[in-house]
Amino acid sequence: MKLILEKIKKSQPKRFAKDYKSTLFRSPKKKLLEFIPTNTEMTGPLFDEKIIDKNANDLTLNFSQNGGKALGQEIFVYGIVKDEFGKPQSNVLIEIWQANSGGKYRHQSDNNDVSLDPNFAGCGRFLTSKDGRYHFKTIQPGAYPYPNRGIEWRPMHIHFSLFGRSFAQRLVTQMYFEGDPLISTCPMINSIPDKKSRKLLISKLDFSKTESDKILAYNFDLVLRGINQTYFERN
Protein backbone atom coordinates (compact mmCIF):
# COMPACT_ATOMS: atom_id res chain seq x y z
CA MET A 1 0.00 0.00 0.00
CA LYS A 2 2.82 2.40 0.86
CA LEU A 3 4.44 1.84 -2.56
CA ILE A 4 1.10 2.46 -4.32
CA LEU A 5 0.53 5.72 -2.42
CA GLU A 6 4.08 6.84 -3.24
CA LYS A 7 3.54 6.12 -6.94
CA ILE A 8 0.27 8.04 -6.94
CA LYS A 9 1.97 10.99 -5.23
CA LYS A 10 4.82 11.06 -7.78
CA SER A 11 2.36 10.92 -10.68
CA GLN A 12 0.27 13.87 -9.49
CA PRO A 13 0.52 17.20 -11.33
CA LYS A 14 3.31 19.37 -10.03
CA ARG A 15 2.12 22.25 -7.87
CA PHE A 16 4.83 24.42 -9.40
CA ALA A 17 5.66 23.75 -13.06
CA LYS A 18 8.13 26.27 -14.49
CA ASP A 19 6.61 26.07 -17.99
CA TYR A 20 3.12 26.76 -16.63
CA LYS A 21 3.50 30.40 -15.62
CA SER A 22 0.46 30.85 -13.38
CA THR A 23 1.69 28.14 -10.98
CA LEU A 24 4.38 30.62 -9.96
CA PHE A 25 1.68 32.73 -8.32
CA ARG A 26 -0.83 30.04 -7.29
CA SER A 27 1.33 27.19 -6.00
CA PRO A 28 1.81 26.93 -2.20
CA LYS A 29 5.06 28.34 -0.84
CA LYS A 30 4.83 26.57 2.53
CA LYS A 31 4.11 23.05 3.70
CA LEU A 32 0.42 22.23 3.45
CA LEU A 33 -1.64 21.74 6.61
CA GLU A 34 -3.71 18.58 7.03
CA PHE A 35 -7.20 18.74 8.51
CA ILE A 36 -9.43 15.86 9.56
CA PRO A 37 -12.74 16.15 7.66
CA THR A 38 -15.76 16.97 9.81
CA ASN A 39 -18.86 14.76 10.01
CA THR A 40 -20.72 17.29 7.86
CA GLU A 41 -18.06 17.11 5.15
CA MET A 42 -18.16 13.30 5.18
CA THR A 43 -21.94 12.87 5.02
CA GLY A 44 -23.23 15.49 2.59
CA PRO A 45 -24.44 17.22 0.60
CA LEU A 46 -26.45 14.61 -1.30
CA PHE A 47 -27.89 15.53 -4.69
CA ASP A 48 -30.96 14.20 -6.47
CA GLU A 49 -32.69 14.67 -9.82
CA LYS A 50 -34.55 17.76 -8.57
CA ILE A 51 -31.48 19.88 -9.36
CA ILE A 52 -31.27 18.61 -12.94
CA ASP A 53 -33.23 20.88 -15.28
CA LYS A 54 -34.60 19.85 -18.66
CA ASN A 55 -31.79 19.66 -21.23
CA ALA A 56 -29.23 20.17 -18.45
CA ASN A 57 -26.93 17.65 -20.16
CA ASP A 58 -27.63 18.94 -23.69
CA LEU A 59 -25.47 22.03 -24.10
CA THR A 60 -26.64 22.48 -27.69
CA LEU A 61 -30.13 23.33 -26.38
CA ASN A 62 -29.99 24.35 -22.70
CA PHE A 63 -29.27 28.02 -23.52
CA SER A 64 -31.39 28.17 -26.66
CA GLN A 65 -32.84 31.55 -27.53
CA ASN A 66 -36.11 31.34 -29.45
CA GLY A 67 -35.50 27.75 -30.50
CA GLY A 68 -31.99 28.30 -31.90
CA LYS A 69 -29.19 25.71 -31.61
CA ALA A 70 -25.56 26.19 -30.70
CA LEU A 71 -23.09 26.53 -33.58
CA GLY A 72 -20.29 24.07 -34.25
CA GLN A 73 -19.53 20.37 -34.50
CA GLU A 74 -21.90 18.46 -32.23
CA ILE A 75 -20.30 15.80 -30.04
CA PHE A 76 -21.55 13.12 -27.65
CA VAL A 77 -19.40 12.68 -24.52
CA TYR A 78 -20.08 9.65 -22.35
CA GLY A 79 -18.44 7.38 -19.81
CA ILE A 80 -18.55 5.66 -16.44
CA VAL A 81 -17.47 6.97 -13.03
CA LYS A 82 -15.71 4.21 -11.06
CA ASP A 83 -13.78 3.79 -7.83
CA GLU A 84 -10.31 2.22 -7.58
CA PHE A 85 -11.80 -1.28 -7.68
CA GLY A 86 -13.77 -0.63 -10.85
CA LYS A 87 -17.10 -0.36 -9.02
CA PRO A 88 -19.51 2.09 -10.74
CA GLN A 89 -20.46 5.13 -8.67
CA SER A 90 -24.12 6.17 -8.79
CA ASN A 91 -25.65 9.59 -8.07
CA VAL A 92 -22.39 11.45 -8.67
CA LEU A 93 -23.12 15.03 -9.72
CA ILE A 94 -21.06 15.89 -12.81
CA GLU A 95 -20.88 19.49 -13.96
CA ILE A 96 -19.02 20.55 -17.10
CA TRP A 97 -18.05 23.89 -18.59
CA GLN A 98 -16.20 24.80 -21.76
CA ALA A 99 -15.44 27.37 -24.45
CA ASN A 100 -17.65 27.64 -27.53
CA SER A 101 -16.63 26.42 -30.98
CA GLY A 102 -14.54 29.55 -31.49
CA GLY A 103 -12.63 29.10 -28.24
CA LYS A 104 -14.45 31.71 -26.14
CA TYR A 105 -16.00 31.28 -22.68
CA ARG A 106 -19.17 33.05 -21.64
CA HIS A 107 -17.27 34.83 -18.89
CA GLN A 108 -16.63 38.53 -18.38
CA SER A 109 -12.88 38.05 -17.99
CA ASP A 110 -12.51 36.23 -21.34
CA ASN A 111 -10.95 38.81 -23.66
CA ASN A 112 -10.53 36.45 -26.60
CA ASP A 113 -11.48 38.38 -29.75
CA VAL A 114 -14.17 35.88 -30.80
CA SER A 115 -17.94 36.33 -30.85
CA LEU A 116 -20.14 34.66 -28.27
CA ASP A 117 -22.72 32.18 -29.53
CA PRO A 118 -26.14 33.53 -28.43
CA ASN A 119 -27.42 29.94 -28.10
CA PHE A 120 -24.53 28.49 -26.13
CA ALA A 121 -23.73 28.99 -22.43
CA GLY A 122 -21.07 26.28 -22.26
CA CYS A 123 -22.19 24.57 -19.05
CA GLY A 124 -24.25 21.52 -18.09
CA ARG A 125 -24.82 18.92 -15.37
CA PHE A 126 -25.84 15.29 -14.95
CA LEU A 127 -26.32 12.70 -12.18
CA THR A 128 -24.72 9.33 -12.86
CA SER A 129 -27.07 6.36 -13.21
CA LYS A 130 -27.17 3.25 -11.00
CA ASP A 131 -24.39 1.76 -13.12
CA GLY A 132 -22.27 4.92 -12.91
CA ARG A 133 -22.92 6.12 -16.45
CA TYR A 134 -23.18 9.70 -17.68
CA HIS A 135 -23.55 11.44 -21.04
CA PHE A 136 -23.56 14.93 -22.48
CA LYS A 137 -24.37 16.37 -25.87
CA THR A 138 -22.37 19.48 -26.62
CA ILE A 139 -20.25 21.38 -29.15
CA GLN A 140 -16.60 20.56 -29.74
CA PRO A 141 -14.77 23.47 -28.06
CA GLY A 142 -12.26 25.52 -29.96
CA ALA A 143 -8.61 25.97 -29.03
CA TYR A 144 -7.66 29.45 -27.85
CA PRO A 145 -4.54 31.56 -27.27
CA TYR A 146 -3.45 32.55 -23.79
CA PRO A 147 -0.42 34.37 -22.36
CA ASN A 148 2.10 31.96 -20.87
CA ARG A 149 5.57 31.69 -22.41
CA GLY A 150 4.64 34.48 -24.79
CA ILE A 151 1.43 33.47 -26.56
CA GLU A 152 0.54 29.78 -26.52
CA TRP A 153 -2.56 27.84 -27.48
CA ARG A 154 -4.62 25.67 -25.17
CA PRO A 155 -5.82 22.39 -26.70
CA MET A 156 -9.53 21.72 -27.07
CA HIS A 157 -10.79 20.66 -23.64
CA ILE A 158 -13.82 20.37 -21.37
CA HIS A 159 -13.71 21.02 -17.62
CA PHE A 160 -15.26 18.40 -15.33
CA SER A 161 -16.37 18.82 -11.72
CA LEU A 162 -17.55 15.77 -9.73
CA PHE A 163 -19.32 15.69 -6.36
CA GLY A 164 -19.58 12.27 -4.72
CA ARG A 165 -21.58 11.32 -1.65
CA SER A 166 -19.98 14.00 0.51
CA PHE A 167 -18.19 17.35 0.27
CA ALA A 168 -14.88 15.54 0.79
CA GLN A 169 -15.44 13.41 -2.33
CA ARG A 170 -14.50 16.00 -4.92
CA LEU A 171 -12.76 15.88 -8.29
CA VAL A 172 -12.00 18.71 -10.71
CA THR A 173 -10.26 17.76 -13.93
CA GLN A 174 -10.13 18.36 -17.69
CA MET A 175 -10.91 16.17 -20.68
CA TYR A 176 -8.82 16.46 -23.84
CA PHE A 177 -9.49 15.07 -27.32
CA GLU A 178 -7.69 12.19 -28.98
CA GLY A 179 -5.53 13.33 -31.88
CA ASP A 180 -5.28 17.01 -30.92
CA PRO A 181 -1.68 18.05 -31.79
CA LEU A 182 -1.75 20.89 -29.23
CA ILE A 183 -1.79 18.40 -26.33
CA SER A 184 1.93 17.71 -26.67
CA THR A 185 2.77 21.42 -26.30
CA CYS A 186 0.39 22.22 -23.40
CA PRO A 187 2.26 23.02 -20.15
CA MET A 188 -0.87 22.31 -18.08
CA ILE A 189 -1.31 18.66 -19.04
CA ASN A 190 2.46 18.22 -19.20
CA SER A 191 2.74 19.29 -15.55
CA ILE A 192 1.73 15.66 -14.91
CA PRO A 193 5.14 13.92 -14.99
CA ASP A 194 3.88 10.43 -15.85
CA LYS A 195 3.00 9.87 -19.54
CA LYS A 196 0.53 7.09 -18.76
CA SER A 197 -1.29 9.36 -16.30
CA ARG A 198 -1.54 12.12 -18.93
CA LYS A 199 -3.25 9.67 -21.30
CA LEU A 200 -6.01 9.15 -18.72
CA LEU A 201 -7.15 12.73 -19.44
CA ILE A 202 -7.51 12.14 -23.21
CA SER A 203 -10.92 10.98 -24.42
CA LYS A 204 -11.13 8.34 -27.14
CA LEU A 205 -13.03 8.83 -30.38
CA ASP A 206 -15.69 6.11 -30.51
CA PHE A 207 -17.02 5.32 -33.99
CA SER A 208 -19.49 2.78 -32.58
CA LYS A 209 -21.53 5.62 -31.08
CA THR A 210 -20.77 8.21 -33.76
CA GLU A 211 -23.64 9.23 -36.03
CA SER A 212 -21.83 9.56 -39.35
CA ASP A 213 -23.80 12.50 -40.71
CA LYS A 214 -24.37 14.41 -37.45
CA ILE A 215 -22.30 13.87 -34.36
CA LEU A 216 -18.93 12.53 -33.15
CA ALA A 217 -18.74 10.44 -29.97
CA TYR A 218 -15.98 10.49 -27.34
CA ASN A 219 -15.55 8.10 -24.43
CA PHE A 220 -14.13 9.48 -21.17
CA ASP A 221 -14.21 7.28 -18.05
CA LEU A 222 -13.35 8.75 -14.66
CA VAL A 223 -11.66 6.89 -11.80
CA LEU A 224 -11.95 8.53 -8.39
CA ARG A 225 -9.12 6.89 -6.47
CA GLY A 226 -6.23 4.45 -6.72
CA ILE A 227 -3.30 3.94 -9.03
CA ASN A 228 -5.39 4.62 -12.17
CA GLN A 229 -7.22 7.65 -10.80
CA THR A 230 -8.12 10.58 -13.01
CA TYR A 231 -5.80 13.33 -11.88
CA PHE A 232 -7.03 16.26 -9.87
CA GLU A 233 -6.61 19.75 -11.28
CA ARG A 234 -4.38 21.51 -8.76
CA ASN A 235 -3.65 24.85 -10.45
Known catalytic residue: 154? yes
How is the chain split into domains, by residue range?
2-26+48-223
C-alpha closest to that of 87 among 44, 47, 131: 131
Task: Tell me the pLDDT tens digit for each residue of 94-145.
Answer: 999 999 999 999 998 898 899 999 999 999 999 999 999 999 999 999 999 9
Q: Which of 78, 154, 176, 231 is catalytic?
A: 154
Confidence of residue 235 (pLDDT cuts 50, 70, 90): very low
pLDDT on residue 136: 98
Q: Which of 125, 159, 198, 218 is catalytic?
A: 159
What is 2-26+48-223's CATH topology?
Answer: Protocatechuate 3,4-Dioxygenase, subunit A (2.60.130)
pTM score, two decimals? 0.87
Highest-pLDDT range among 9-18, 100-109, 182-191:
100-109
Whole-angstrom CA distances from 210 to 19, 44, 166, 205, 213 are: 36, 37, 35, 8, 9
Cβ-based neighbours of 5, under 8 Å, separated by 6 or more:
none
Residue 24 and residue 18: Cα distance in Å, rounded? Answer: 7
Known catalytic residue: 105? yes
Q: Which of 20, 78, 134, 144 is catalytic?
A: 144
Known catalytic residue: 159? yes
Cβ-based neighbours of 214, under 8 Å, separated by 6 or more:
74
Known catalytic residue: 144? yes
